[in-house]
Amino acid sequence: MSLRGKKIVLGITGSIAAYKAADLTRRLVKAGAEVQPVMTAAAGRFIPPLTIATLAGREVLSELFPEAGEAQTAWTKHVDLGLWADGVVIAPATAQTLAKLAGGFCDSMLTAVVLSARCPVLVAPAMDHDMWGHPATRRNVATLQADGVTVVPPAHGELASGLIGDGRLPEPEDLVAQIGRWLDESGERGIGHDAARLGAEADAPASLAGRHVLVTAGPTREALDPVRFLSNGSTGQMGFALAAAAARRGARVTLLAGPVALDTPPGVERVDIVTADDLLQAALAHAEADVVIAAAAVSDYAPAEPADRKLKKGDDDLTLRLRRTPDVLGTLGAQKRDGQTLVGFALETHDGEAHARGKLARKHLDWIALNVQGEPGAGMGAATNRVTLLGADGARVEIPTAPKAEVAEAILDVLASSPSGGDAR
């Protein structure tokens, strides 16, 4: 990732995750960026400003007003930095910092820089799991996103409190990659604080802050014997892309993942399942979700009597008796509550739209995403996808062939912008 020539104000606030700011600073500089560090007083309790200054090659700024001996015009540095920077990055951003930024408070050099900035702003929150999930924090995140601020969801894992959950600052190498993409995309769209003030925040992804999104992904496996199973070719890429996109929009995301070789997206709670029965139980445990996106490829049949020992070769022909697996999506649709949005997927080989619309009606869905196996660039195993979204109200939206991450964003855009099937925002 090259950031050559980019000017970045790096804000560091008082979280235990501030220790990662040293590595983040080093990596940003190594990528070619000019980094101006700005630390809050609380951040200095976790990492010495001298460490950050040495790595950045610039003096750390902290105080809003000039100290003894400084020029009296030094108090306008926040204005100068707001004009100088290509982007303001706050990592880690504490709950206190999010609250101050959402409320427009200006009591430190960092908050003054943000209010003065004419460039995009990105925050990477880090805090305890319960603090991240608190309604006040979710409101503040939603406010910031509405103002055009990009929020990188915290990662899932062990926290300083000893709890396990969402709240970890993503690893510095991941942050640098996200910062690079963010600056490129912001430059293409022209998104900054001035643009947001003028109403261009509509160009940014619709917020899902405060919403619970449940995504199912990957295949299921149904045991034939201890070493063999019935399954399908799903890689889980589409479902994982949808989970990652929802997390980037501030949602609390639960991902029910079949057996796939994919890393958990940052900020996503992952529950691993194997069989269709496993998936049903896990889905029912999270059935209160505001938005359910069922992208998993569930095996429709399972061996009725799986062997407890490995089957050996015998006759040339082997007859299997199969049973139907539970209808996970149909079960969720039958108990769907008011205000909940339910989205299914239909992978077809022929008569796709007719089959998809039938599934849409039978399972009480709000939307169904139709893709065709065998079509170039679509279906299982492909890095790209092409989707036709069909709505319960008759809506039909074509999403052209694109990487699955882009298709996921387009699907969420449709859910957020259309009244079909309830409020996905």
CA–CA distance, 175 with 192 (Å, rounded to integer): 19
Q: What is the rounded radius of gyration, in angstroms, for the C-alpha atoms of the chain?
A: 24
Q: What values do phi and psi take at 167, rounded to 5?
A: 160, -10
Q: Among residues 140, 232, 371, 385, which one is catalytic? A: 232
CA–CA distance, 209 with 216 (Å, rounded to integer): 20
Q: Select from 228, 249, 247 the least CA-distant residue to 239.
A: 247
CA–CA distance, 170 with 390 (Å, rounded to integer): 36
CA–CA distance, 293 with 365 (Å, rounded to integer): 10
Token pair of 387 as six digits: 């989707």
Q: How far is the CA of 123 from the CAs of 111, 148, 164, in angstroms?
A: 12, 11, 22
Residues 6+ apart with CB under 8 A from 369: 295, 343, 344, 345, 346, 387, 388, 389, 411
Amino acid at 232: N
Q: Select from 323, 324, 317, 279 the least CA-distant residue to 305.
A: 323
CA–CA distance, 79 with 109 (Å, rounded to integer): 10
Q: Is 232 a catalytic residue?
A: yes
CA–CA distance, 23 with 76 (Å, rounded to integer): 29
CA–CA distance, 22 with 13 (Å, rounded to integer): 13
Q: Which residues are catalytic?
A: 232
